[in-house]
Amino acid sequence: MQTTATAAAPPATAAPERRAYYDRIRPYHLAPLWEALHALVPREPASPCVPALWRYAEIRPFLMESATLITAEEAVRRVLVLENPGMPGQSCTTQSLYAGLQLIMPGEVAPSHRHVQSALRFIVDGRGAYTTVGGERTTMHPGDFIITPSWDWHDHGHEALQSDSGPVVWLDGLDIPLVRFFDAGFAENDTQQSQTVSQPEGRSYARFGHNMVPVRHTHTSRTSPIFSYPYARSREALAALQKSEAPDAWQGWKLRYTNPLTGGAPMPTMQPCLQLLPQGFRGRSHRGTDGTVYSVVEGRGTAVVDGQRLGFQPQDTFVVPSWARLQLEAETDAVLFSFSDRPVQEAIGIHRESFD
Ligand code: GTQ
């Protein structure tokens, strides 16, 4: 979303009389388009975002160390941002999307707040934490995909009731850079730390999670009424497909999560997917204009991104930039969660993809 420096500053190589002219018009806040046109309107995407992989085994100790430095309450959200190495300091993983790993320790609370930015959570490590959205609490299990809709109150916590409970880590995906681009961000803190739980756990899933909808329900929200999509159900679907049909040559068996009321993306700005690659899979190359963040749930393999090999294991996160060629390879059966800004690009009619 940030314009590149090359787009703004005319090159020093310009002819002296042109440079002198540029110098004279600058105080009037004018700039010559012809020096920047090629960068502003490129022949094809030229993203500053680069392919990158975060090895969970390598970064987990840093995440755990953060808990010795600050509590979840003081931090509000104790997260290590997965900053794209091509865009340091900008708190983004692709140009439009933010990803981070959030840590909750047993007994902690991340206080209730709300914001315009939509969030998704994908549980990476540990069990026993919960998130509360709109008065309904959901317990987190590894592989669950959970939504925080725009402007809904939400708090996270970990009651530490079980003797085996430990740290819980999840991947946060937010449309923070998109909202920042539009200068449309609002946020507020709740008056209470943890919102009052007013609904029994599982109510949303009972009402909307079984290809059925309460008979007099009319939907007004832009976001799915299911806010937790359990891994057990999604994984079961992939296992059944593996038994019943050949994998797609590019993406294996890949399903997108939907809003059951529309069939579209579960949230306006992000499309999450879950895919299974069979052992020995050597996928064909494909690319899309939606830069994508992947979280590895099961198995080992390699993402070949514009020729760069990113070897992955469970709990790793990697990012594939817009228009980079991706080939997926699996050494064992592998399950990948992913999300991109595709619904936004589709809404404005600019999404492109190609399958080689
Ligand atoms: O859990 O509400 O990673 O507000 C960044 C901003 C998580 C959250 C993030 C947030 C949250």
Residue 308 pairs in a beta bridge with 305
Q: Whose CA is nearest to atom 11 of ligand 1?
A: 77
> What single letter denotes the amino acid at residue 53?
L
Instruction: Say how far apart CA 97 and CA 81 lie, in whole Å.
Output: 11
Site to substitute for ligand 1 among 79, 116, 193, most atoms within 8 A of C-beta: 79
Residue 181, phi then psi, degrees to nearest 5: -60, -40
- For residue range 316-341, what is the model confidence (pLDDT) as tens digits? 999 999 999 999 999 999 999 999 99
Evaluate if pTM is beyond 0.85.
Answer: yes
Q: Ligand 1 centroid vs 110 CA: distance in angstroms?
A: 10
Q: How confident is the model at residue 12 (pLDDT cuts 50, 70, 90)?
A: confident
Give the closest residue to 317 by CA, choosing from 169, 175, 176, 181. Answer: 169
| pLDDT tier, 163 (very low <50, low <70, confident <90, very high otherwise) | low
158 and 105 in contact (C-beta within 8 Å)?
yes
Cα 201 from Cα 137, distance rounded (Å): 6
Element (H, E) at 146: strand 145-148
Express each pLDDT in 245-296 by its tens digit: 999 999 999 999 999 999 999 999 999 999 999 999 999 999 999 999 999 9
pLDDT at 4 over 60: no
Determine the pLDDT at residue 165: 80
User: What residue's CA is closest to ligand 1, atom 8?
Assistant: 77
Q: What is the pLDDT of residue 105?
A: 96
Residue minimizing CA distance to atom 10 of ligand 1: 77
Mutate to test the pocket of ligand 1, among 102, 112, 168 (most ligand atoms within 8 A of CB): 102
Q: Which pLDDT belongs to residue 75?
A: 96
Contact 96, 1 (CB under 8 A): yes
How buried is residue 218: exposed, middle or buried, by Cβ count under 10 Å (0-12/13-18/19+)? exposed
- The closest-lying atom of ligand 1 relative to the alpha carbon of residue 110 is 1
Full set of structural domains in the chain with CATH: 52-355 (2.60.120.10)
- pLDDT greater than 80 at residue 3: no
- 2 pLDDT more than 50: no
How confident is the prediction for the chain on average, in pLDDT? 95
- Give me the mean pLDDT over the 197-221 stretch: 96
- Is residue 127 within 8 A of residue 167, CB to CB? The reply is no
Q: What is the pLDDT of residue 14?
A: 84
pLDDT tens string 117-157: 999 999 999 998 999 998 999 999 999 999 999 999 999 99
State both tokens at 25. Answer: 């018009």
Pocket lining for ligand 1, CB < 6 angstroms: 77, 79, 100, 102, 115, 119, 154, 172, 174
Helix (H) or strand (E) holding 57: helix 56-69
Identify whether the C-beta of residue 76 lies closer than 8 Å to the C-beta of residue 111.
yes
Q: How remote is the CA of residue 170 from the centroid of ligand 1, in Å?
A: 11
CB distance 317 to 336 below 8 Å: no
Q: How far apart are the CA of 79 and the centre of ligand 1, in A? A: 8
The backbone torsions φ and ψ at residue 147, rounded to the nearest 5 degrees and listed phi first, read -110, 140
Residue 36 CA to ligand 1 centre (angstroms)? 36
